[in-house]
Amino acid sequence: MCENTTTELQKAQYIEKQALRNIVTKLGLLFILYDLIFMYIARQIFIFGYYAISTKSFNFRPDVINGFLQSKASFINSSAFTMFFSCFVILVSLIFAVITAHLMGIRVLSYIKVSKKNISMGIIAYPIGLLVNTILTTITSFITALFKESGTTIPTADFSVDKASFSAIILTILYLVVVAPISEEIVFRGFVLKALSPFGKKNAIFLSAILFALMHKNIPQAVGAFAIGIIFATVDTKANSIVPSIVMHSLNNMLPCLMNINASVNSMAITIIYNFLVYAIVLSGITIAIIKGRQIFSLKDETQYERSALPENKRRIEIFLNPMILIYIAILVYSLIANIIAAN
């Protein structure tokens, strides 16, 4: 009887190990494809499309395309064009990724469950996320300044609006508050949580946070993104939906978006409003963390019925040492290091 039980357990472990390895490999391939499309293919589609629309002709010769882009350098470098370009690239990348994921059996759109409860969860948890992000941003800014004084520049993202045109402001808001949060949550929370939660929710949360952090490809953003990525994924796991993190991500991007716009209009009123909002939300975050922190972030109810034949350490190995995941992480780390080298 004991031997039969052992054999059944080993069989169950083998089946689960193969299933986990299969889904993690698919995830790794999906993310590599997403990065390839985001960094190269979608950008080329936009460039060729822009050339075709502007000249009413098709041409795929690099020298001709580059000459055309140089002649339009002033317009191309404008904030309005840059934000439109960013919206296009991330949306095209998202569409390709969602279709590919669907073909792989990862139906992430079913993880978007809009309800008052899920929206409320995002709004309530957001101040805690901003609190954590503010603390980490302050620390990393201090460290970055020290590096700069020693002669090493640590790059970060720049979404500043160079000219306060109506189109530039609208497109900046559209990208930072709507398009980027929805797209990034579908990819970095939706795919990972949907695919890996059946094999252990905590590992899924941790992997989603690591990939989300490294995706930013600069250290200052990555530090804060990892911490709030944990918060985003935890709340999503409780809601069984990525709607809370979409709400939190949009709200999280709203304040820096406000300051990016203010950099061009230089309004004292916007500065005062920004400072008031930051202090008010951070204080709310402290209050909510004290009163409801355990209730919001405890996963006891979500994980107590998890059953797995495969031991936890073996599941971690299959997830975090999967060759495809390691290749994708290596690509992101390479880009992060390359950005630092380029900045110096």
Annotate 288-312 with b (16+ C-beta within 10 A) or e (fewer).
Answer: bbeeeeeebbeeeebeeeeeeebee
| pLDDT-based confidence at residue 262 (cuts at 50, 70, 90) | confident
Residue 274 pLDDT > 80: yes
Shortest CA distance to 177 belongs to which of 79, 83, 81, 270?
83
- Sequence-distant contacts of 183-186: CB under 8 A, at least 24 apart: 183/90, 183/91, 183/93, 183/94, 184/90, 184/212, 184/215, 184/249, 185/232, 185/242, 185/245, 185/246, 185/249, 186/94, 186/97, 186/98, 186/108, 186/109, 186/112, 186/242
Segments forming the whole domain that contains residue 299: 2-343
pLDDT given for residue 229 in this prediction:
95
Shortest CA distance to 195 belongs to which of 34, 319, 62?
319
Angle ∠(68,71,73) on CA atoms, nearest 5: 110
**In the predicted model, what is the mean pLDDT of residues 182-190?**
95
Angle ∠(268,261,140) on CA atoms, nearest 5: 90
How far apart, in whole angstroms, are the C-alpha atoms of residue 162 and residue 178?
21
pLDDT given for residue 324 in this prediction:
96
Shortest CA distance to 318 belongs to which of 30, 13, 4?
13
| Predicted TM-score of the model (pTM) | 0.92
Count of all residues that appear for the chain in the document: 344
pLDDT given for residue 50 in this prediction:
94
Contact (CB, 8 A) for 195 and 27? yes
198-234 pLDDT, tens digit per residue, is 999 999 999 999 999 999 988 888 999 999 999 999 9
**In the predicted model, what is the mean pLDDT of residues 252-276?**
82
Q: What are the helix (H) ranges across 37-114?
A: 42-55, 62-71, 73-76, 79-103
Number of domains in the chain: 1
| pLDDT-based confidence at residue 256 (cuts at 50, 70, 90) | confident
31-70 pLDDT, tens digit per residue, is 999 999 999 999 999 999 999 999 998 888 888 999 999 9
More confident residue, 298 or 326: 326
**In the predicted model, what is the mean pLDDT of residues 296-302?**
86
Contact (CB, 8 A) for 199 and 308? yes
Q: Which residues are within 8 A (CB) of 130 and not within 5 positions of it... i.e. 6 or more apart?
A: 251, 252, 255, 278, 281, 282, 285
Residue 102 pLDDT > 90: yes
20-32 pLDDT, tens digit per residue, is 999 999 999 999 9
Residue showing tokens 């299933």: 19
Q: Mean pLDDT of all residues in the chain?
A: 90
Secondary structure (3-state) at 298: coil
| pLDDT-based confidence at residue 320 (cuts at 50, 70, 90) | very high
Of 126-130, 249-253, 255-259, minimum mean pLDDT range: 255-259
Dihedral sign from CA coordinates of 10, 11, 16, 19: positive
Helix (H) or strand (E) holding 181: helix 180-185
